[in-house]
């Protein structure tokens, strides 16, 4: 599977501008028309219907506690394709130029379409996230506050059950995730507060990755989405993956993660040069030399 064949969506939380102002910024890029929906009142949504008939939502979010409700603006994209990435980046830039900003209470959630994945492939992806969890958390610079509340690590007992039972269907995988068979998953199930939110898969066939700190930097947002797409494509294609955690060596973490991005996830070449740069910027050491360049004798 090519990562470019996967569909995705994104939620970007912002403060500092009204939902109408953020909707107008989106419209300046995607054109179309703006509608004030207003219900449910708790979310007070505004919609931007673009020229393709897709709806971009701007809603309130009570978790943005540092802003009054009027200035809570969470952008919820429609289902997008890889070809839409430049448009999404322009939307992000327009929102920033309109004066919206982010703080420590804001976050980003990336949704990946899993309708083409069977239980084995979903389990592979869960193992993949777990295996490289330490590297991912360091590369994404997930704050302790987010990891403790909104983006908890994958529970070890879930991985242990995966290894014991080797699920062959989604019912078995569902039972492993919830601890019992849940035939009617709800959107706000408590298990959703994991950075690998598998509840989204059972609720609407879309994985939600909740690992990202807020930003209105278009390049970083592209890098976050591309990373998720690449990991999903890899999990779809491999027969199996060892879930044993890969321990991080801080002093050479930049080199090791670069190898994973290039060799493991095929994010090589000029197309992904900026993606690699953004994903490596929080890690230590040299990207070219594991233990530093050796000096000639």
Average pLDDT over residues 76-91: 98
Band of residue 295 on the pLDDT scale cut at 50, 70, 90:
low
pLDDT at 225: 98
Give pLDDT tens digits for 161-200: 999 999 999 999 999 999 999 999 999 999 999 999 999 9
C-alpha 182, offset from chain centre: 24
When the pLDDT of each residue in the chain is averaged and rounded to a whole number, the result is 95
Q: Are 209 and 108 in contact (CB under 8 A)?
A: no
Band of residue 19 on the pLDDT scale cut at 50, 70, 90:
very high
- Rounded to whole angstroms, the Cα distance separating 95 from 75 reads 10
Q: Look at the block and give the residue holding tokens 């419209």.
A: 27
pLDDT at 297: 46
Instruction: Show me where the domains of the chain are located.
Output: 1-8+110-288, 17-100
Name residue 208's beta-bridge partners.
111, 197
- Rounded to whole angstroms, the Cα distance separating 254 from 64 reads 32
Give pLDDT tens digits for 98-150: 999 999 999 999 999 999 999 999 999 999 999 999 999 999 999 888 899 88
Average pLDDT over residues 12-39: 98
Average pLDDT over residues 212-237: 97
For 6-39, give one letter per residue: b (16+ CB within 10 A) or e.
Answer: bbbbbbbbbbbbbbebbbbbbbebbebeeeeeee
């Amino acid at each position: 599977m090519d990562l470019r064949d996967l569909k995705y969506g994104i939620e970007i939380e912002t403060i500092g501008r009204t939902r109408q102002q953020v909707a107008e910024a989106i419209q300046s890029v995607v054109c179309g028309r703006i509608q004030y929906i207003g219900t449910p009142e708790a979310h007070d949504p505004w919609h931007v219907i673009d020229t393709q008939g897709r709806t971009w939502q701007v809603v309130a979010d009570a978790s943005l506690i540092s802003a009054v409700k009027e200035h809570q603006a969470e952008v919820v994209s429609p289902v997008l394709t890889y070809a839409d990435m430049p448009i999404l980046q322009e939307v992000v830039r327009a929102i920033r130029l309109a004066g919206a900003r982010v703080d420590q209470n804001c976050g980003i959630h990336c949704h990946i379409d899993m309708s083409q994945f069977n239980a084995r492939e979903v389990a592979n992806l869960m193992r993949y996230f777990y295996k490289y969890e330490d590297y991912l958390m360091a590369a994404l610079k997930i704050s302790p506050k987010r990891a403790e509340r909104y983006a908890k690590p994958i529970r070890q007992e879930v991985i242990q059950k995966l290894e014991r039972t080797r699920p062959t269907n989604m019912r078995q995988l569902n039972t492993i995730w919830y601890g019992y068979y849940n035939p009617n998953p709800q959107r706000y199930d408590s298990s959703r507060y994991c950075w690998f939110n598998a509840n989204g898969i059972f609720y609407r066939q879309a994985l939600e990755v909740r690992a990202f700190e807020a930003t209105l930097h278009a390049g970083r947002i592209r890098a976050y989405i591309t990373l998720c797409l690449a990991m999903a494509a890899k999990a779809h294609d491999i027969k199996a993956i060892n879930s044993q955690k890969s321990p991080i060596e801080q002093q050479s973490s930049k080199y090791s993660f670069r190898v994973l991005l290039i060799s493991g996830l095929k994010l090589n070449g000029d197309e992904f040069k900026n993606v690699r740069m953004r994903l490596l910027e929080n890690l230590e050491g040299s990207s070219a030399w594991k233990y530093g360049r050796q000096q000639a004798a």
